[in-house]
Structure 1
Amino acid sequence: MTLTFRLFVLFTLVAGTAYSAEIPVRSGAHDTFARLVLDVPKEKKWSLEKTATGISVTITGHTDGFDISRVFDRIDQTYVSAVDGDATSLDIKYGCECQAEVFRSGSMLVVDVSALTTGSTDKNQNIGLSSLQFVGSTQLRFTPDQPGNELPVSNPPSSLDAPVAEEAPNFLLSEAPSTMEVSSLKKAQEQLANRIGFAATTGILRPSDLSVTVPQRQQRPQIDTSIFNSSIQAFEEEQTGPPSGNLRITSSSDVPNTEVRDTSTTLGMQCIDPVEVRVQDWGGTTSFATSISLLRGALFSEFDKIDKNVAVELARLYLHFGFGAEAKQVLLMDADLAPANRALVDIADVMEFGSAQAENYLGNFTDCDSDVALWAILSAQNLRPSSSVDSSAALLSLSSLPIHLRNFLAPVLSRKLLKYGDEVAAAAALRGLERTVEPLPSAAELAKADIELTRGDVEAAQGRLEAIVASNDQQSAEALIRYVNTQLDAEIEIDEDIATLVEAYAIEMRNDPLGEQLQSTHVLALAKSNQFDSAFDVFQLMRPSGSISDAETLYSTLLFLLAQNANDATFLKHAFPAIAERGNVMSTKTTDALAQRLANLGFFAEANKFLSTQTGTPVTRQRKVLLAQISLGLSQPRAALAHLGGVAGDSADSLRAQANINAGYHDAAYKLFSGLGDEDGRTRAAWLSENWQQFLGSDDPVLGPMAEATSSRLDISNTSTGMLNRMQGALEESATARRAIEQLLEAHPTHGRLQN
């Protein structure tokens, strides 16, 4: 069986969020601070300014304001008393003696407002911003004890790389330092900064991706949005060595980093303990059969009462080996088990269905920096573009799973991340499987085909889909649906064998969740292989049964393919019954295609009647041009000119010129044809115009001699040299006029026959 390929696909790529609307301001309540989150793309610059009552955040280039309607849905006015904004700036008013800490996290700008730290006396320094300072195992700060001995402090920058502590330890002596000591400390600070700068310039020192733990500072959850790097050791392995803070040394003896994990989501919801989802640790120490036997034997006591601890352990063992239905069955054996182990229920649904089926508990934790992120993403049926997702943590957790779970879960994760818009992470989810010696499973091949289609590499995707179909695997039917769908907008037919194969799968899997898609794909495959009679027969059989949930969309697509590809006889056979039916909902594209085909075949009245019955569809530029063409076919040139009002383009000007000729506006038609470069139209308009002599010169190949002949005058003055000379001049002019008329008749033989 041979499959025919043709490169064409249309995908809307979304590369980022377009900022042509208000920026929503979300909030989250914490014990010791209030958090505000703004969705601001990475390429957008922002600035921060202190006001008399709080701070003002300005987004450069943004002019559409902020949506602050839901700011106080999650927080009270303890730390933030009011939030207001104009077109470009967001004003935040403190509700206490507060300080603000602002930092960027990927495509989000985060503002944390908290009370001033006890002992802080400088109320002007109430904006937490990072300055160029060394951050090692402790924060190096120079804090004068007495006025007059302060070191000069430069203005902090308007963006934050790593928040600094509100209160730092004092490394100086308890008594006030002398001028010499202050000078020595300043010199040491400058030397240290120079050395750090030199190390950073030569590549020995670079910023670390991990958060910084600062002594004597309340720990607040930060958002880790660093891109997953497979070269970093697994975070679950305990690391030793001195912490490196926000500087990473990349010499021959690298200093390992200390892990600092987020403990809450962006909006303040406390992340669950990663131990609850550590599926990779639930395998047991014996074989699967032995472990199952032992646990099932201990599941009930001698009084037939279920042991809940054993039930949970048994469910976890099932999940480790990928048995979701069995795990969920165990959890439903007692009324208290499922509510107490909601994470296990969601994981069981993921194993069985690919996402959580009931109330999605894990879906609230997609941006937790732990193993929780993986199962939260997998449990979500559809990730919203506005959701905050920690794909790095999910990929790291995926790589720690046993291979039998990775083979199943990696394609699922890849497709969810691809739908979310993270193409890089979607490809990374499959990369771990490609490194194994085993061939990629069909599900992973199908996920790779989706990535290739998103990138526009249709030819490679078609080859991959063909191989999946030929493998006769579990994913073959889904790959066949993808294959047919990628051909819908192509200008070539598909083989009839493909339609036959789709029909076979549709019959075999009629009770499967894919059954409805296969039935719809069968209709489209018949149409794409020019088997329109069979396509309409199959559709009419399925239509009354209600087996297709979106029958109107399928019918509209079928009629569009009919208008585009069917021969004239087949088109008329199926088009007239379709347009005669009342209540058919067709897309604008299908409506225009049917009317255009009718007009091309000369059925102008039928096309006009059909368009008049399609109410509620937008009058696009294409529709206006089509209505003008139909009006000309119905000998209504002035209606055509009305339809073309405000429509530009050569096709519109060509119809406008023809409508002007038909309406008798030959001078306007002559100018339009001249602008289009249509010599035949220009000559015809000039010939019909009463002012044709003004439009034509003597060098015109057809009407030029005629214009010259009609403009000549006989010399009848008394000053002529004699009658014979006058007669000879008249004969010459007559001969010239005759030649011009003969040339005109040769150029327009139809006119000559009509005159004769």
Structure 2
Amino acid sequence: MIPRFLISALLLLGAGPVLAQTLTVQSGEHATFTRLVTRLPDGATWRIEQDGPVARLFIDDPDVIFDTSGVFRLIPRDRLASLSQAGPGDPLTLDLACNCPVTSFVDDGAYVVLDIGNQVSEDPVRFGLIEQPVPVIEIERDPRRMPTALPLLAGNAAAQLTMNGHSPSAAAAVGDPVTGQLASDPPANQAVSPEPDPGPDLSRSERALREQLSRAATQGLVEIDPDALAEIAAQLDRPEPEDGTPLSSNIRATTSVDRDMVLVTTPQALSGSHGACLDPRKVDLKAWGDDRPFGHQVGAYRARMAGEFDDLSPADVTGLARTYLYFGFGAEARQMLELAGPEAGDLSVPIALARLLDEGGLAKPHPLDDQVHCDSVVALWSVYANPITSQDDVNSGAILRAFAELPVHIRSHIGPGLVRRFTNAGDAETSELLLRMINRAALQDGPPMQLAEAELARLNGAEDEADTIVEEVAHSGVAESPDALITLVNRHFDMRQSLPNDTVNLLESYVTELRRAEIGPQLARTRALALALAGDFPAAFAATEKLDRAGTQETLVKILTLLTESADDLTFLEYSLATTGAGAGALPADLVMQIARRYLGLGFPERVMALLDGPLPGAPAEEYSMLRGQAALDAGQPRRALLELVGRTGPAADALRAEALQMSGLHSEAAELFDALESPEEALRSEWLAGLPPSGDEQEGLYATRKAASQRLTEGPASPTDLSLAAARTLLEQAEALRRDIGLLSEDAEASGQ
């Protein structure tokens, strides 16, 4: 016989040229559902049906073709395993990865939206199914593979079928192989009559077997024996005999097709390191308004928002909210979105966008987070929502294109903030391009733009120009002045420059005025830092006690840095001891090391040992050990100093080790180290203290003289051999020399503490 696909091909060839209509299927991933969206042809009707793990979208258009090539670039396969279409005009088949419910609606009258939710039950989801007769297909038999007859089951046979050598599949429509009718649905023109309950196990097994065989028949994997149709119908009409043999429910069949379907429906991980991107239409402000006056566009929605019974139309409510967003009114848009009921769907994205337009940023997590890589306007709003770094994979090209397409008033509103996002990330090229686009349109030249230009100038190395602009904005008394003052104080901290008194006074006035505003806590922290820059450390530390916890640690670190670097000794000891009394705490390692060095220079080794008592992540290991060793040596603990220096090498470590050995009384070992360090005086002193004999080249130097005197005292004067006057004079000279040696050694002993 002629295969069915050849007949279809001949029919298509005979029908003449047909203009196919391609509908692109777009996708988006959400926390609780996966969304598919496709355009609905003008005047076309549509419906959706679901049969367990298979759903189908029917569009009444014989030429429609679904383009699904880009679906799985944006979504994982957790809920949707695959998409397929047999041919033009055929339904779009959704093979689901779970028993997930599929809901649908029409958006703006032009788009069909399918939402695949999470699985909520083990029972198969079925709805929208229409009776479809199952054709009896004759398949040309291979003489080498004769069909095997399946005998009727005793008492209650479902069908007499023959297998054509293939395995049944679970991926076809559900229906009765005889009537083409769903097992669970009665005919539309026939009343439902009660039937005897055949028992839970038998009914469930029979229904499952009939559904599986029906799927296989629809796919052409099995063929129906026409001779058995009458007997099947008769047995289905007969009641179950009481003594009939029950069908065993302990049956499980697995085929190669089933195993392949398991592989297909296995959830696949997302490619790359990014999450799925939002549908750009959800944040496409340019499509939500036009050049008509504000009153005309808003009034059109307001006029039709209330129906006959004063019921708000969700479509009109969301449409009005989008219009508000188009004109930049975030608070008004949020107010309208709060009026929309559950039937309006997920509104988290427009609510986040409305808050972003008002506040210039969003607290994480939010719907626009981790979208900077997307190739659409979504990347623009994701960058504007949160700061970026040079390591982020930002799609700058998509952001520039989207920014150029925004309405002029929206570009004017978000442009400066967007430029500062890129300057803070070190992207001077994108920042300059954005500034050119803003200046080309002559959007604005006010303080926000000045601050953006200052950031770009600083990024390009023009520090003086940037400082001049920021200082001008800070003292201009505009809405951006507090932000400029914060930038100005941080800049002075980086340069370790004090602030003029008028700047400090202006900052204090803003702290009082804006104490309840969102920027109030940041201004209070900046004021404490400004006081420290001015050298008023008592006032600065008093101000830190009134700060909130958020951000206080960073301010305290900056003030302690200034205290350690520039405060007098008494002020440093007073506030550093009070701040670090319990140890280093959460202070950065470089600051702790800096404080320890100053403690050591002021003669407080015990404080250094307490401050460095324990590991200090981030500190240089060599310097950390040297500081602990020097502190132990200064505290009179040479043995502990030697332990701290274990494993340390280099001239500095050897010099400290030699001092510890000398203090420990190990003068011989100390002499060797001093000699290796080319310190002859210290080496001679250690040799002398160790009682070593003098070497031939030790003729000069302080400790060479002491060593010779010590040797003369050890030998003593020679005894006189006679009592002549000359002998008496020699004895007096020797006594005088002995007195000088004793005096010399006494002075050295007092100076060295020995």
Range into which the TM-score falls when normalised by the shorter chain: 0.5 to 0.7
C-alpha deviations, 1:606-644, integer Å up to 9, x for none? 4434544x6776774333222222212222222212212
Are residue 305 (structure 1) and residue 311 (structure 2) matched?
yes
Amino acid at match of 1:401: L
> How far off is 1:550 after superposition?
4.5
Aligned partners of 1:686 and 1:695 also within 8 Å: no
Aligned partners of 2:426 and 2:459 also within 8 Å: no
Are residue 284 (structure 1) and residue 290 (structure 2) matched?
yes
1:223-238 correspondence to structure 2 within 5 Å = none
Change (3 A) 1:575 1:377: closer
Aligned partners of 1:637 and 1:663 also within 8 Å: yes
In the other structure, the counterpart of 2:633 is 632
* Cα distance in structure 2, aligned partners of 1:527 and 1:617: 27
Aligned partners of 2:286 and 2:405 also within 8 Å: yes
> How far off is 1:416 after superposition?
3.9
> How far off is 1:519 after superposition?
1.7
Are residue 524 (structure 1) and residue 524 (structure 2) matched?
no
Are residue 462 (structure 1) and residue 467 (structure 2) matched?
yes
Aligned partners of 1:556 and 1:586 also within 8 Å: yes
Change (3 A) 1:424 1:670: farther
Task: Work out which of the two has the higher radius of gyration on C-alpha atoms and give 1 or 2.
Answer: 2
Aligned partners of 1:34 and 1:75 also within 8 Å: no
In the other structure, the counterpart of 2:397 is 392
* Cα distance in structure 2, aligned partners of 1:666 and 1:72: 77
* Cα distance in structure 2, aligned partners of 1:534 and 1:695: 66
In the other structure, the counterpart of 1:622 is 623
* Cα distance in structure 1, aligned partners of 2:669 and 2:586: 41
1:343-742 correspondence to structure 2 within 5 Å = 343-356=349-362, 360-363=366-369, 366-379=372-385, 381=386, 388-417=393-422, 422=427, 424-435=429-440, 437=442, 440-450=445-455, 458-488=463-493, 490-542=495-547, 547-580=548-581, 585-612=586-613, 620-670=621-671, 672-673=673-674, 681=682, 684-685=685-686, 688=689, 690-691=691-692, 693-694=694-695, 696=697
Change (3 A) 1:562 1:648: farther
For structure 2, list consecutive stretches of 5 or more residues without a partner in the other structure: 1-35, 37-66, 84-269, 713-725
Change (3 A) 1:559 1:340: closer
Amino acid at match of 2:305: L
Amino acid at match of 1:321: F
In the other structure, the counterpart of 1:234 is none
Are residue 329 (structure 1) and residue 335 (structure 2) matched?
yes
Tell which deviates more after alignment, 577-586 or 397-406.
577-586
In the other structure, the counterpart of 1:167 is none
* Cα distance in structure 1, aligned partners of 2:429 and 2:391: 18
Aligned partners of 2:334 and 2:351 also within 8 Å: yes
Amino acid at match of 2:396: S
Aligned partners of 1:331 and 1:338 also within 8 Å: no
Amino acid at match of 1:578: T
> How far off is 1:392 after superposition?
0.5
Aligned partners of 1:673 and 1:681 also within 8 Å: yes
Change (3 A) 1:297 1:448: same
> How far off is 1:533 after superposition?
0.9
Aligned partners of 2:412 and 2:443 also within 8 Å: no
Amino acid at match of 1:425: T
> How far off is 1:668 after superposition?
4.6
Aligned partners of 1:266 and 1:388 also within 8 Å: no
Aligned partners of 2:608 and 2:628 also within 8 Å: no
Change (3 A) 1:440 1:656: farther
> How far off is 1:532 after superposition?
0.9
* Cα distance in structure 2, aligned partners of 1:609 and 1:654: 24
RMSD: 4.9
> How far off is 1:415 after superposition?
4.0
Aligned partners of 2:510 and 2:523 also within 8 Å: yes
C-alpha deviations, 1:304-330, integer Å up to 9, x for none? 333444434433332222111112222
Identity %: 27
Amino acid at match of 2:653: A
> How far off is 1:508 after superposition?
1.9
Aligned partners of 2:371 and 2:382 also within 8 Å: yes
TM-score, structure 1 normalization: 0.52
Aligned partners of 1:319 and 1:327 also within 8 Å: yes
Aligned partners of 1:349 and 1:357 also within 8 Å: no
**Aligned partner of residue 332 in structure 1, secondary structure:** helix
Amino acid at match of 1:500: N
For structure 1, list consecutive stretches of 5 or more residues without a partner in the other structure: 1-28, 38-70, 79-263, 713-726
Aligned partners of 1:640 and 1:659 also within 8 Å: yes
> How far off is 1:491 after superposition?
4.5
In the other structure, the counterpart of 2:30 is none
In the other structure, the counterpart of 1:163 is none
**Aligned partner of residue 330 in structure 1, secondary structure:** helix
Amino acid at match of 1:442: P
Change (3 A) 1:683 1:402: farther
Change (3 A) 1:510 1:676: farther
> How far off is 1:530 after superposition?
1.5
* Cα distance in structure 2, aligned partners of 1:575 and 1:514: 29
Aligned partners of 1:277 and 1:372 also within 8 Å: yes
1:4-403 correspondence to structure 2 within 5 Å = 274-301=280-307, 303-336=309-342, 339=345, 342-356=348-362, 360-363=366-369, 366-379=372-385, 381=386, 388-403=393-408
Aligned partners of 1:552 and 1:584 also within 8 Å: no
* Cα distance in structure 2, aligned partners of 1:72 and 1:649: 60
* Cα distance in structure 2, aligned partners of 1:358 and 1:444: 27
> How far off is 1:515 after superposition?
1.7
Amino acid at match of 2:523: L
C-alpha deviations, 1:656-709, integer Å up to 9, x for none? 3332332334455455556666676566556656447449456x5667799999
Aligned partners of 2:583 and 2:610 also within 8 Å: no
* Cα distance in structure 2, aligned partners of 1:297 and 1:34: 39
Change (3 A) 1:475 1:560: same
* Cα distance in structure 1, aligned partners of 2:273 and 2:640: 59
In the other structure, the counterpart of 1:144 is none
In the other structure, the counterpart of 1:173 is none
- Report which structure shows greater RCO (CA 8 Å, sep ≥6): 1
C-alpha deviations, 1:87-125, integer Å up to 9, x for none? xxxxxxxxxxxxxxxxxxxxxxxxxxxxxxxxxxxxxxx
* Cα distance in structure 1, aligned partners of 2:531 and 2:545: 14
In the other structure, the counterpart of 1:224 is none
Amino acid at match of 1:575: S
C-alpha deviations, 1:390-426, integer Å up to 9, x for none? 2201111112323332232223333444566755434
Amino acid at match of 1:339: G
> How far off is 1:566 after superposition?
1.6
Aligned length: 479
Aligned partners of 2:447 and 2:473 also within 8 Å: yes
